[in-house]
């Protein structure tokens, strides 16, 4: 047990943080202390009392503050805030070393970065909205502890989710150890979250008992892809009951979602038959979208070197039946500029934010309709960058070409 954990768990433990406007950093720091010891007393103020002997965070320039010039920065460049400094000291005691690192990377660091740099974060915005309005005449302590209460519930749920995922990974390992590696159908004794664990395997379908009776079938996605290794036939999608029975030839067929992400049947052997039929009817057909500025794309369409590199990417990822689809970047609508500064050749785009968002949304729509395995991007950064950003948010692999030692290679944008 760490020194800090022992201090937090003391019977009369107390802590101090800054008063006034609060942020996700001091709120989640407080929630973390209360998670460890629900009885700890947390006080807010503008300066740390001289005789205070408890835990001080996000104020005072001490061990758990980050406002001093020499405040610490992680090896990956993300600066610590109070939440991260506290988590570094207690995280391993809560989740264990390995999960504590993962939790820091996925949950703590974005909040630390938001507090230090102002980078947008939806959770930080939500917590910040608990602050009273600017002209509220009372104090902010009541609102602060309301936010802490919400943050505490989020932390508890997150911790349990991480522990649950760890239990699921171990359970999946046990099931896979008994699974025939030649079979692309995995039958689970009960529902176990496993899509991430199976993405790198050849398993295309997972079957498990439904909590509504019968059995569920879930197709599995390829790694770094929005597509399934094998999809249900299009003729099954959106059907149920007798219509689905007639379409599949399976007497116990119950329901197939129109999105193709789940199907239910009455018996386990019928679920296996449905998977086998889907596999027998499946034809590998995948798309890599080549996206670029209008004119550039058409001119490059015959560039066999680029096509060859893209096909090599598909081959390396085990994707078969690939063809390349060219999508031109749409011209920016009504591109009006401010008056050009003749000395600096600088101008700004006169476009309202909603119009810009609509433009990007339409661009992405044109690409996503192909359900691409990846998108290769080239051309004008003004047109392509916002689209790249939107695609990455959808977890679609985005490729670009670089020269490495005078050799052209494809790389995936991280």
Query: pLDDT tens, 59-100?
Result: 999 999 999 999 999 999 999 999 999 999 999 999 999 999
Write down the pLDDT at residue 298: 45
Within this chain, do residues 160 and 20 fall inside the same structural domain, yes or no?
Answer: yes
CATH number of the domain enclosing 407: 3.40.50
Rounded to whole angstroms, the Cα distance separating 16 from 117 reads: 24
Last-in-domain residue among 139, 164, 189: 164
pLDDT tens digits, residue range 280-328? 998 877 888 888 865 444 444 446 778 888 888 787 777 777 888 888 8
Domain-located, residue 175: no
Q: How confident is the model at residue 341 (pLDDT cuts 50, 70, 90)?
A: low
Write the CA distances from 382 to 105, 390, 410, integer angstroms.
31, 14, 21
- Please indicate, yes or no, whether residues 225 and 319 belong to a single structural domain of this protein: no
Instruction: Identify which of 274, 244, 269, 272 has the alpha carbon closest to the alpha carbon of residue 258.
Output: 244
What is the total count of domains within the chain? Answer: 3
Burial 33-61 (b: 16+ CB within 10 A, else e): bbbbbeebebebeeebeeeeebbbbbbbe
pLDDT in tens, 356-382: 888 889 989 999 998 898 899 887 787
> 407 versus 266: which is more confidently predicted?
266
SS3 318: coil
My answer on whether 209 and 268 are in the same domain is: yes
pTM of the shown model: 0.80
108 and 60 belong to one structural domain: yes
Range of the domain at 137: 3-164
Is 277 found in the same domain as 290? Answer: no
353 versus 273: the higher-pLDDT residue is 273
Reduced to 3 states (helix: H, G, I; strand: E, B; else coil), residue 341 is strand
Q: Are 159 and 306 members of one domain?
A: no
End-to-end CA distance of the chain: 37
Q: What is the mean pLDDT of residues 384-397?
A: 87
Tens digits of residue pLDDT in 230-276 = 999 999 999 999 999 999 999 999 999 999 999 999 999 999 999 99
For residues 278 and 232, the answer to whether their CB atoms sit within 8 Å is: yes
Q: Do 43 and 128 fall into the same domain?
A: yes
pLDDT digit string, tens, across residues 5-41: 999 999 999 999 999 999 999 999 999 999 999 999 9
Residues 73 and 157 in one domain: yes
Cα separation, 226 vs 218, in Å, equals: 14
Q: Are residues 202 and 149 in the same domain?
A: no
Is residue 128 in a domain? Answer: yes
With beta carbons less than 8 A apart as the criterion, state whether 313 and 288 touch.
yes
The contacts of residue 67 (CB under 8 Å, 6+ apart) are: 58, 59, 61
Note whether 221 and 338 are same-domain residues.
Answer: no
Kindly report the average pLDDT of the chain as a whole number: 90
Domain boundary among 224, 257, 281: 281
Joined together, the tokens standing for residue 251 give: 């007497």
In the sheet that holds 41-45, the strands lie side by side as 41-45, 14-18, 55-56
Angle, in degrees to the nearest 10, between helices 82-95 and 141-177: 40
Identify the band that residue 334 occupies on the pLDDT scale cut at 50, 70 and 90: low
Same domain flag for 319 and 387? yes
Q: Give the span between the Cα atoms of 309 and 294, in whole angstroms.
A: 21
Same domain, 265 and 319: no
Q: How far is the C-alpha of 82 from the C-alpha of 18, rounded, in Å?
A: 11
Q: Which one of 263, 281, 299 terminates a domain?
A: 281
| Residue 44 pLDDT exceeds 70 | yes
Please determine, for residue 56, whether its predicted confidence score (pLDDT) is greater than 60. yes
User: Can you give the pLDDT at residue 297?
Assistant: 47
pLDDT at 65: 97
């Amino acid at each position: 047990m760490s020194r800090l954990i022992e201090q937090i768990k003391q019977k009369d433990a107390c802590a101090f943080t800054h008063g006034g406007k609060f942020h996700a950093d001091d709120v989640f720091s407080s929630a973390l202390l209360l998670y460890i010891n629900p009885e700890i007393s947390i006080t807010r103020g503008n300066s740390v009392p001289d005789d205070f002997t408890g835990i001080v965070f996000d104020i005072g320039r001490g061990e758990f503050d980050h406002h001093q010039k020499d405040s610490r920065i992680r090896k990956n460049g993300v600066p610590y805030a109070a939440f991260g400094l506290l988590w570094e000291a207690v995280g391993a005691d809560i989740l264990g070393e390995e999960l504590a690192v993962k939790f820091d990377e996925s949950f703590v660091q974005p909040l630390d970065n938001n507090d230090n740099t102002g980078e947008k974060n939806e959770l930080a915005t939500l917590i910040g909205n608990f602050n009273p309005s600017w002209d509220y005449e009372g104090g902010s302590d009541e609102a602060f502890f309301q936010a802490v209460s919400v943050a505490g519930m989020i932390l508890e749920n997150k911790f349990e989710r991480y522990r649950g995922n760890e239990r699921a990974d171990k359970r999946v390992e046990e099931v896979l150890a008994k699974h025939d590696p030649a079979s692309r159908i995995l039958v689970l004794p009960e529902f176990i979250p496993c899509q991430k664990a199976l993405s790198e395997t050849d398993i295309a379908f997972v079957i498990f008992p439904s909590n509504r009776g019968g059995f569920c079938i879930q197709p599995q996605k390829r790694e770094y892809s929005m597509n399934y290794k094998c999809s249900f036939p299009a003729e099954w999608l959106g059907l149920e009951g007798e219509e689905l029975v007639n379409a599949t030839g399976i007497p116990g067929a119950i329901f197939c979602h129109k999105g193709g992400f789940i199907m239910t049947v009455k018996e386990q052997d019928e679920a296996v038959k449905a998977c086998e039929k889907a596999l027998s009817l499946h034809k590998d057909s995948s798309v890599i979208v080549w996206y670029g500025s209008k004119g550039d794309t058409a001119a490059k369409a015959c560039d066999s070197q680029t096509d060859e590199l893209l096909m090599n990417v598909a081959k390396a990822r085990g994707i078969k039946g690939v063809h390349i689809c060219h999508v031109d970047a749409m011209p920016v609508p009504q591109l009006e500029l401010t008056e050009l500064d003749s000395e600096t050749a600088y101008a700004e785009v006169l476009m309202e934010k909603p119009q810009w968002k609509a433009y990007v949304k339409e661009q992405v729509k044109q690409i996503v309709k192909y359900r691409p395995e990846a998108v290769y991007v080239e051309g004008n950064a003004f047109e392509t960058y916002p689209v790249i950003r939107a695609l990455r948010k959808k977890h679609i692999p985005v490729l670009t070409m670089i020269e490495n030692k005078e050799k052209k290679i494809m790389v995936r944008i991280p």
